[in-house]
Chain A
Amino acid sequence: MARITVNGKTREVDADPSTPLLWVLRDTLGMTGTKFGCGAQLCGACTVHLNGSPVRSCGTPLSAAIGQKITTIEGVSATAAGKKVQAAWMALDVPQCGYCQSGQIMSASALLASKPNPTDADIDAAMAGNICRCGTYPRIRAAIHKAAGTKGA
């Protein structure tokens, strides 16, 4: 049994310590908002926060998450940045298929938490790890600016 804190709640999980956090969240805890996209930390669909920093949960073993604070898409609205980001996402109708959006929102929330007024270059850097095959990038950029209350270049 391993003990992890997910969205402020302590959870006991029975999984091998080498199991990626992604599959612990999805299959062991039934929290399917975090998505499997590539399994190789290349697409960002599985992004969660570990102590507030964005990490790819497909490449984070359970052992590295023990005792850490994990935030997922199901809990990010409890953070100030996450709440703003989600509101902007809805105001601008960002998602299309929606599959990558959990990861996009987690990356954007972490960006805003650390840089409340991101520039376009900040957005490029923070979001480059998240692929969207539907091509929602223009709206993601606009939504981050909207959430921050800044104007895009």
Chain B
Amino acid sequence: MTTTLKNPARRDFLKTGTALGGGLVIGIHLPQALAKQVTTSMPNAWVRIGSDNTVTILVARSEMGQGVVMALPTLVAEELEVDLRKIKVDFAPPSEVYINNLLGAQITGGSTSVRDGYDKLRIAGAQARTMLVQAAADKWKTDASKCKAANGTVTGPGGKKASYGQLAEAASKLTPPKDVKLKDPSKFRYVGKSLHRMDVPDKVYGRTVFGIDVKVPGMLYASLAQCPVTGGKPVSFDDSKAKAMPGVRHIVQISDGVAVVADSWWQAKQARDALTITWDEGPNKTLSSEGVHQQLSEALDKPGVSIKKQGDADAALKSAAKTVDATYEMPFLSHSPMEPMNFTADVRKDSATLIGAIQFQQGALGLAADLTGLKPEQITVKTTYLGGGFGRRLDLDYVSQAVQISKAVGAPVKLIWTREDDMTHDFYRPASLTRMQGGLDASGKPVALTLKMTGPSITSRFVPPAVKDGVDPFMTEAILVPYDIPNQSVSTVIHEPGLRVGYLRSVSHALNAFANETFIDEMAVAAGKDPYQYRRGLLEGKPRFRNVLDLAAKYAGWGKPAPEGVGRGIALMEGYETYMAQVVELSVKDGKPVVRRVVVVADLGRRVNPNIVLQQLEGNIIFGLQAALYGEITLKDGRVQQTNFDKFLMPRMPETPKIDVYVVDSKEKPGGIGEPGTAVLGPAIGNAIFALTGQRLRKMPFRLA
């Protein structure tokens, strides 16, 4: 079987959403064949109310640990005036109404869920509430201003009462109001409070359904052999041994490999291992880590595309009293969420059902339509909980594979990758090189900065039109230093070594912040200044930066001598509209750096749920620790050398530092918090290593000489 893939990801991708008001789904009626004859009405796309007073809030973002399943319903419930603890939550289907306005598609990523939803979801809640109140007023032939909604009930003159369930059907037929009044934040009942996450009990009792837990009637299990060199294709295969093995039902070739479909996954996996496959390994078959480094080094000598030009950096470098020249290197990195890629597809002649863990619902829909020839309205996409995402589940290769396999065998199929499949067939964080040169005047003040960065471009593959004039915006998110340096020249060179790359938690922030925040430390050293004070002096007129920096230094006791054998490092960044500074305390044991404590100060504006913010910041540190001290994907003969957690190491309980988080109480608009902390930690660790050992490490993961 041959299938051509047609870039499903592009469908609707760049269409700007106008979900506010204009796109609301009105009066959708979902009769359910329940014994109780419950009818369900939807005043808008986010609110479903049953005649039994059940309120369901639809979540249009994927829950991958970051807490959207709690934070987003909180925003709706705040204005809808329902008891948040009693609502139900359902994941929304693909629809233009659910487009993430910050990304132009129904995508979960970029730490955008709250930023996109903060106003939109409160408006949705207020709109539905207004319609319910109006329905009550109509019923009682009175004015809506005389009715009040609270706790799922509308109260009117003379003590009249009607529940939302009684009003929902009539309310859904009303025209949604264009303007709704939102609560003053001082009146918030839920927003801004550290409420317990409602998804926690199911997760504690093992009841949560992740993609891998999906079961549909008649379902078979699939295991897929993919080319050891990613991008390679099967040429021929011998399945004489495999097809005789117990439970095996089908063996089919699809675009990416050969799949065994069996009664159980273990049977499928055993038979897959018995296949003999001849591969066309494709253009990457000789790729090695040394080769990638060589290619990127050469690319760094090519002229870059300018990102910023201010003053005359070259001239200022030449006339500088002192110069610093350094090149920073980042390796490929794997997402490795704990739930390996998997997906369930049921492709039939006139319909298809797709169920699983994805971060890009419209992408899955478009992909399935292209692969099956079905119309989008014939395809149902259901999102489950995600056992981690970190950007991996934006890419839908595993969805495509499940759809192809189900279509080929004519049965519902759950495809499950092994950990080895997952680690060796990722879309890796780009490897990168960044060369920086700085000039200081006689007083140590920086007068010139040049920066040139090279690496592969994710966006050139994922959404090509977003790469304009040779600049990938997801390569340069934090490439500009916040510091006051009069002459600057910043540029990038896109170079593709061949290994496929993808968006990984904090994306280019990590690459950019590592270079910038290590370099400013090196400048401070060259100037003979304290790294904290040096940064501080270059942040005049940037109060949010200065504030987080000052607080981090204060809470870490920066001015006081560190304990014997401990070094401190500092770093800062703005990312996802969140300002952050971190101080790391580090020692060395058995020749290896050990992070003992991390002080995190974040200013992310208003918070929907401070407890989830803390969770995210703690998790950011562990994720950043993995990248700084452990994570590296290497290549030999085109093959990824790390196949499981014995080679791609993770921090574990004993390596977990003390994490002290301080969040600035702020009324600024909400910033993202799922990612920025991972990017700041790396340079803070590297700077602490320098402070302690005098070794300036310019390549992650950090290894002491």
0 or 1 for each of A77-116: is its CB under 8 Å from B? (1 = yes): 1000000001001100111111111100100000000000
Tell whether, in the assembled complex, residue B646 and residue A40 are in contact, meaning their CB atoms are under 8 Å apart: yes
B contact residues, total (Cβ < 8 Å)? 62
Partner of A97, one of B221, B385, B416, B420: B385
Main secondary structure on B side of the interface with A: loop
Q: Which of B316-324, B489-497, B649-657 contacts A (4 or more CB under 8 A)?
A: B649-657
Contacts of A27 in B (CB 8 A): 221, 264-266
Contacts of B196 in A (CB 8 A): 90, 93
Tell whether, in the assembled complex, residue B208 and residue A137 are in contact, meaning their CB atoms are under 8 Å apart: no
Q: Which of A39, A40, A95 gathers most chain B CB within 10 Å?
A: A95
Task: Write the chain B residue with the least CB distance to A125.
Answer: B654
Partner of A37, one of B63, B338, B385: B338
0 or 1 for each of A1-42: is its CB under 8 Å from B? (1 = yes): 000000000000001100110010011101011111111101
Tell whether, in the assembled complex, residue A40 and residue B419 are in contact, meaning their CB atoms are under 8 Å apart: yes
Q: Taking A37-B338, A39-B419, A133-B337 as contacts, is the C-beta distance between A96 and B66 under 8 angstroms?
A: yes
Tell whether, in the assembled complex, residue B264 and residue A95 are in contact, meaning their CB atoms are under 8 Å apart: no
A98 to chain B, nearest CB (A): 3
Partner of B618, one of A45, A124, A129, A135: A135
Tell me which residues from 327 to 372 in chain B have a Cβ below 8 Å from any Cβ of chain A. 336-340
Q: Is B622 on the interface with A (CB-CB < 8 A)?
A: yes
A27 to chain B, nearest CB (A): 5
Q: Taking A32-B213, A133-B336, A137-B656 as contacts, is the C-beta distance between A101 and B266 under 8 angstroms?
A: no
Q: Is A131 on the interface with B (CB-CB < 8 A)?
A: yes
A60 to chain B, nearest CB (A): 13
- Tell me the total A-B contact number using a CB cutoff of 8 A: 174
Tell whether, in the assembled complex, residue B386 and residue A38 are in contact, meaning their CB atoms are under 8 Å apart: no
Partner of B652, one of A37, A73, A131, A134: A131
Q: Is A130 on the interface with B (CB-CB < 8 A)?
A: yes
Q: Is B619 on the interface with A (CB-CB < 8 A)?
A: yes
Q: Is B27 on the interface with A (CB-CB < 8 A)?
A: no
A104 and B658 CA atoms in complex are apart in Å by 19
Q: Taking A43-B338, A99-B338 as contacts, is the C-beta distance between A135 and B620 under 8 angstroms?
A: yes
Tell whether, in the assembled complex, residue A89 and residue B200 are in contact, meaning their CB atoms are under 8 Å apart: yes
Partner of B204, one of A19, A32, A35, A86: A86
Tell whether, in the assembled complex, residue A23 and residue B65 are in contact, meaning their CB atoms are under 8 Å apart: no
Task: Write the chain B residue with the least CB distance to A30.
Answer: B215
Q: Is A69 on the interface with B (CB-CB < 8 A)?
A: no
Q: Is B197 on the interface with A (CB-CB < 8 A)?
A: yes
Q: Is A57 on the interface with B (CB-CB < 8 A)?
A: no
A12 and B213 CA atoms in complex are apart in Å by 21
A contact residues, total (Cβ < 8 Å)? 57
Tell whether, in the assembled complex, residue A93 and residue B611 are in contact, meaning their CB atoms are under 8 Å apart: yes
Task: Write the chain A residue with the least CB distance to B207.
Answer: A33
Q: Which of A15, A27, A45, A73 gathers most chain B CB within 10 Å?
A: A27
Partner of A74, one of B205, B221, B650: B205
Q: Is B39 on the interface with A (CB-CB < 8 A)?
A: no
A134 and B200 CA atoms in complex are apart in Å by 14
Contacts of A123 in B (CB 8 A): 653
Tell whether, in the assembled complex, residue A28 and residue B212 are in contact, meaning their CB atoms are under 8 Å apart: no
Tell whether, in the assembled complex, residue A98 and residue B652 are in contact, meaning their CB atoms are under 8 Å apart: no
Tell whether, in the assembled complex, residue A40 and residue B653 are in contact, meaning their CB atoms are under 8 Å apart: no
Would you give 25 A-B contacts (Cβ < 8 Å), ordered by A? A16-B266, A19-B266, A23-B265, A27-B264, A37-B340, A39-B420, A74-B205, A89-B200, A90-B196, A90-B200, A90-B204, A93-B200, A95-B197, A95-B199, A98-B208, A99-B338, A99-B387, A124-B654, A127-B653, A128-B652, A131-B652, A132-B622, A134-B619, A135-B651, A139-B615
Which residue numbers of A lie inside 8 Å of B, CB to CB? 15-16, 19-20, 23, 26-28, 30, 32-40, 42-43, 45, 72-74, 77, 86, 89-90, 93-102, 105, 123-125, 127-141
Known pairs A19-B264, A38-B644, A127-B653. 9 more at Cβ < 8 A?
A: A39-B420, A45-B338, A89-B204, A94-B200, A95-B204, A97-B388, A99-B337, A124-B654, A135-B622
Which residue numbers of B lie inside 8 Å of A, CB to CB? 63-67, 196-197, 199-210, 212-213, 215, 221, 246, 264-266, 336-340, 385-390, 416, 418-420, 611, 615-616, 618-623, 644-646, 650-654, 656, 658-659
